[in-house]
Amino acid sequence: MALEFTDDNFEQEVLQSDVPVVVDFWATWCGPCRQIAPVIEQLATENPGIKIGKMDVDANQSTPMKYGISSIPSILYFKGGEVVENVLGLQPKATLQKLIDKHK
């Protein structure tokens, strides 16, 4: 199951994580975000050993601003507290899985 990241838990859950983290920046009003949501859930279930979660950009504004999120969905891959990959827009599951595999 995908985790829920917030401004309050981002540092601990993402930046200080000892495993890679995938963060899907999304909003409830965003059609493509709702389309990719089941894919994010599947990836979270199928990839134990890394953290995969979502951050609602309306409820949490400081973290998306810090990372320059200007369009959603935006998916950032973090490793060692640093962004190693940034994917914009609706993407097929296979594309996202390849990026996860690349950064494990």
| 67 in active site | no
| 33 in active site | yes
* Residue of 2, 23, 30, 57 with catalytic role: 30
Q: What residues make up the domain containing 14?
A: 3-102
Tokens encoding 40 = 């994010």
pTM, to two decimals: 0.96
State the CB neighbour count (10 A cutoff) for residue 52.
25
Residue 102 CA to residue 19 CA, distance in Å, equals 14
Residue 19 CA to residue 31 CA, distance in Å, equals 30
- What's the pLDDT tens digit per position in 64-83? 999 999 999 999 999 999 99
* CATH code of the domain covering residue 27: 3.40.30.10
- What's the pLDDT tens digit per position in 20-39? 999 999 999 999 999 999 99
Count of the separate structural domains present in the chain:
1
* Residue of 22, 23, 33, 52 with catalytic role: 33
